[in-house]
Structure 1
Amino acid sequence: MHITSISGSPSERSRSAWLTQFALTRLEGVATRSEHIAVRELPAGALLYADATEPAIARAVQSIADASLVIVGTPIYKAAYSGLLKVFLDLLPPDALRGKSVLPLATGGSPAHLLALDYALKPVLSALGARHVLDGVFATDAQLLRHEAGGYVPEPELLARLDRALDPLVPATRMRNAAELSCRR
């Protein structure tokens, strides 16, 4: 399975980018190839002027075309996905997500932003042809606490929701996690 992840966060140290990368690690056993697109690292001018011919943008668009699974991660700002993600998604062809599985992930300051996945992000994914959208996973800041060594520590309930969302792709995910939990006891 070729997996491409998209991080729509403008921040270098971002909960949503971390969650997106973490989802990729949960799929390591089934990925034949994985690529990560950090939209904030793409040329700003090309994004703003919708220049899909710029080489870095063209490579990112091709990575999505080649993928069978696309993971889309974004912070939620003012009840919507990030503007940075929006300018990138606007560069994609109309059917860029047709025939692919799509996993939407989002983070926000409070559960009040939970519905942004369903009411803001999923309609755009559908407009891009996505018909197999996995259960989205929303995490609050409190569910992803900063770790002193870098990164974040996810709450167990968040891990369980992420694994449930991934189950259609990796039926053994739940068994792997159960085995990990039994080893810790």
Structure 2
Amino acid sequence: MATVLSVSGSPSATSRTARLLRHVDDRLRAHGHEVVPLDVRVLPPEALLHADVDHPAIIEAIGLFERVDGVVIGTPIYKAAYSGLLKALLDLLPQYALTGKTVLPLATGGTTAHVLAIDYALRPVLSSMNPAHITPGWFTLDREIVVDDDGALTVAQASDKALARVTDQFSHALGDFPTPAAPIG
């Protein structure tokens, strides 16, 4: 099966976005995929803010993107856009870092007013990085993600079903798209 990089663009240590991604990771593992989690918030802030592509942690993160077959990108939505933390990482990646990759964009937010942020803010940036395929994404309202006192995650049933559907589509797509040649130019 495929190797998937699961990237959380949330700056919060108690992030619902990251917890939702780990939920998706479990489903992908159940499909037989190897999943490598990457929480952007653990990368050195000075390396991200100063665009230090020679920093060992950034080199390692770039290497993760190179070695995987697929990428799940998760982000909270702030002011109708994906997180600045995620943007800082995406800006440090090589222009065609997603060449040959299948990508699943996911987002969380406090209001349905942000539901289009995946398609109008995140998808264009991901598309510019030359992925083989970007599967349909999913936006989950914060109130549909509940974390109990023990850290257990519960996702509202309707949202969890939709999330399972897009995760399964992503899993299927990982096997359907051969790696294309690098873009010319």
| TM-score over 0.5 for the pair | yes
Which residue number in structure 2 is paired with residue 13 of structure 1?
14
Q: What stretches of structure 2 of length at least 5 have no aligned partner?
A: 173-185
Displacement of 1:88: 0.3
Matches within 5 A, 1:62-77: 62-77=63-78
Q: 1:168 deviation in Å?
A: 2.7
Counterpart for residue 123 of structure 1: 124
Cα distance, 1:30 vs structure 2: 3.7
Q: Which runs of 4+ in 1 moved over 6 A?
A: none
Tell me how far apart the structure 1 counterparts of residues 128 and 32 of structure 2 sit (CA, whole Å).
26
In the TM superposition, what are the counterparts of 1:160-171 in structure 2 within 5 Å? 160-170=161-171
- Given residue 89 of structure 1, which amino acid in structure 2 is its aligned partner? L
Give me the whole-angstrom Cα distance separating, in 2, the residues matched to 1:158 and 1:139.
7
> For the residues of structure 2 that align with 1:167 and 1:20, how far apart are their CA atoms?
14
Q: Distance in 2 between matches of 1:55 and 1:167?
A: 34
SS at match of 1:65: helix
| Preserved contact between residue 19 and residue 105 of structure 1 (Cα < 8 Å) | no
Q: Is the 8 A contact 1:18 1:151 kept in 2?
A: no
Counterpart residue number, 2:82: 81
**C-alpha distance 31-60 of structure 1, shift in aligned 2 (>3 A):** farther
Number of the residue aligned with 2:46: 45
Cα distance change, pair 160–32 in 1 and its aligned pair in 2 (3 A):
closer
**Greater length-normalized contact order (CA 8 Å, ≥ 6 residues apart):** 2
Contact 1:3 1:31 in 2 (8 A): no
Other structure's SS at 1:125 match: helix
Q: TM-score, normalised by structure 2?
A: 0.88
**CA deviation profile, 1:72-107 (whole Å, cap 9, x unmatched):** 010000000000000000001111112111011110
Question: What displacement does 1:124 show?
Answer: 0.5
CA distance in 1, matches of 2:109, 2:14: 14
Unaligned ranges ≥5, structure 1 = 172-185
Whole-angstrom CA distance in 2 between matches of 1:42 and 1:126 = 24
Which residue of structure 1 lines up, in the alignment, with residue 181 of structure 2?
A: none
Cα drift, residue 148 of structure 1: 2.2
Contact 1:9 1:40 in 2 (8 A): yes
Question: Could you report, residue by residue, the CA deviation over 1:5-47 in whole angstroms, capped at 9, with x for unpaired residues?
Answer: 1110000001111111111100113445321111110011111
Q: State the identity as a percent.
A: 45
